[in-house]
Structure 1
């Protein structure tokens, strides 16, 4: 009932919430405001309490479970989705314990009717060099490419913008963000991660379908999408210290290009519309 009040209050402000998760990081004992759930407890709460409350209030809000790191996505899915799980739309996941792209793929293959959404990721200053802006940008692109290639359907960053300290934050967990605010000067600074994320948000349109791609080398990370209007978008990432020569082929067409060191490139084809 409390969550329903929260959602209705947002609607009163003109904001329609489409998705909700039961608990952020339900396995973490931490300083954040949170509880610890077992997968069964989370499933029981979602199906036995949250979904009925949403239905009674007439709220069409999709429920995501887990909302935590990828390494346990698959093993928890076997609990979340056993039996009648129609009221659970999918799973949210984070990146803090590493790639674990294979876990996403196994969920996609075994539970194709369920959705996977990246619901949180940030570059924490306690773990990464706050001044290495290129590393931060490449972390985003690497994770997004791997996630989308293995079944992820959407990406949500944790922070769109933060102040110059990486906050405000009531537990001192300061982070980077795509846009940093300089509060004294009243200015903003777009970080490289802003533009790296933009290769996805600008060229991959809502409703796009991720399509297959094959690479000749691990030095190039890549993913490709078919947009609803029939256009194609291929995103190529080079995290190496040297340039990489690429010949991109689609059916009978080829295009040669050189990926400079530490760059991201998007190639589009709007000609055939099919």
Structure 2
């Protein structure tokens, strides 16, 4: 049996060094969550508890680390399709539950540039072969129906405080060496040539068109998981960049193109957007070139290899490049074939989220962005059947949705660790507290926030 206990402690005094005796909870989940009573000092689940031993946790707000950006999720085509399978009132409830003042209070949103595997088909915004001038560039029905309305709603609910960033999966098929958006390949022609020039212009056109539809962006990544483009049999949209290719594309074309538009001149450009194993070398290659680095704000990283690659690579990346933030930009459960896609009510999946967030943030990550904010009962729709789990699962047949433990786990961070909070020094009195992990912050209103998780089991 796994307790999966997550606890938030709030302390409001101005004391710089604070010690608290935290009872180790060896507990069983006994009833639904009591969620988001923020005025209370202790914020946790309904549990049965027994005292095993005491843990002394000391916080020292005199020692501060990174400033936090926030938490959020992605607005894919699948999200919009699933939302529209519900009555409007439930659609509103889901978006309010994520971005509203009484919900998780997300402050980040990720938006794909054109199609992904979580679309119903491949499409780009410039599917006319040879259209180097992008004269036929156009957003699609997916943008107008499945993305933009919900993005605007989230922005309004957050009082325009949400930071949206975009990510491309692939250039149009005619621009790639393999002739398809799906599968490995790179941009055609020589680096810096007309295909690369058109691809840089494509970014700017995307942001200009979204601006016309009421959406402006805080950031953009150069390419989603660029190393997957090495695999010619890759199962969905992708495109290859090496670190040196990304560096040269940024400094010669993409950086200047973004600076040339009034809608993107201040955009936060992020490199990598791939797994931990690419770091710190990817960051070294790009950021050690001052002509590329001047256009870049941060390093994006995904979670899919986190169990294999230690988090110290994040700290190494920060130590070598302290002027650039590190943002975790994609995560989901159920992504391996044997993991079972959505598993309703699974607390272990909530635990993996909390564990990863604590580990990332302890190694200089400034925020953590989930993948799809909601999916259907199968974990889609997904045109290549790459079904996964999500914090909210929608049952269109019954016209209802289910908040997963992952949803509540994310709220323990997003609801309390507000933007511009700072991680602070926090440590237990000994190293013997196996299975109990914590991370601590000071908030802009001078609160101390501690998020703890007990992963111990009891029979």
Equivalent residue number for residue 246 of structure 1: none
- The alignment status of 1:47 with 2:258, answered yes or no, reads no
- The alignment status of 1:33 with 2:254, answered yes or no, reads no
> Which of 215, 225, 231 lines up with 2:441 in the alignment?
225
Deviation of residue 140 (structure 1)? 0.6
Q: Does structure 2 conserve the Cα–Cα contact (< 8 Å) formed by 1:46 and 1:63?
A: no
Equivalent residue number for residue 62 of structure 1: 268
Deviation of residue 125 (structure 1)? 5.4
Please list the CA deviations of residues 146-182 of structure 1 after superposition, one character each: whole Å capped at 9, or x if unmatched. 0011000111111110011100101111011000111
- The alignment status of 1:71 with 2:277, answered yes or no, reads yes
- The alignment status of 1:13 with 2:226, answered yes or no, reads no
Deviation of residue 240 (structure 1)? 1.4
Bigger Rg, structure 1 or 2: 2
Equivalent residue number for residue 399 of structure 2: 186
Equivalent residue number for residue 321 of structure 2: 111
- The alignment status of 1:126 with 2:337, answered yes or no, reads yes
Give the match's secondary structure for 1:17: coil
> Which of 182, 190, 195 lines up with 2:408 in the alignment?
195
Q: Distance in 2 between matches of 1:183 and 1:165?
A: 11
Equivalent residue number for residue 102 of structure 1: 312
Please list the CA deviations of residues 21-49 of structure 1 after superposition, one character each: whole Å capped at 9, or x if unmatched. 11100001322212111100011112211
Q: Does structure 2 conserve the Cα–Cα contact (< 8 Å) formed by 1:159 and 1:177?
A: yes
Equivalent residue number for residue 24 of structure 1: 224
Equivalent residue number for residue 76 of structure 2: none
Q: Does structure 2 conserve the Cα–Cα contact (< 8 Å) formed by 1:125 and 1:174?
A: no
Equivalent residue number for residue 80 of structure 1: 286
Q: Distance in 2 between matches of 1:145 and 1:103?
A: 15
Q: Distance in 1 between matches of 2:425 and 2:408?
A: 24
Q: Distance in 1 between matches of 2:214 and 2:367?
A: 23
Q: Distance in 2 between matches of 1:108 and 1:115?
A: 8
Q: Does structure 2 conserve the Cα–Cα contact (< 8 Å) formed by 1:125 and 1:176?
A: no
Pair 1:75–1:229, CA change in 2 (3 A): same
Equivalent residue number for residue 175 of structure 1: 388
Give the match's secondary structure for 1:2: helix
Give the match's secondary structure for 1:194: helix
> Which of 351, 357, 370 lines up with 1:157 in the alignment?
370
Q: Does structure 2 conserve the Cα–Cα contact (< 8 Å) formed by 1:163 and 1:182?
A: yes
Q: Distance in 2 between matches of 1:114 and 1:37?
A: 21
Equivalent residue number for residue 454 of structure 2: 238
Pair 1:40–1:125, CA change in 2 (3 A): closer
Give the match's secondary structure for 1:142: helix
Of stretches 91-100 and 200-209 in structure 1, the one that deviates more from structure 2 is 91-100
Deviation of residue 128 (structure 1)? 2.0
Deviation of residue 108 (structure 1)? 1.3
Q: Distance in 1 between matches of 2:271 and 2:353?
A: 23
> Which of 167, 192, 202 lines up with 1:2 in the alignment?
202
Q: Distance in 2 between matches of 1:240 and 1:12?
A: 52
Give the match's secondary structure for 1:212: strand
Q: Distance in 1 between matches of 2:235 and 2:204?
A: 25
Equivalent residue number for residue 91 of structure 2: none
Q: Distance in 1 between matches of 2:278 and 2:312?
A: 11
Aligned residues: 243
Deviation of residue 231 (structure 1)? 0.3
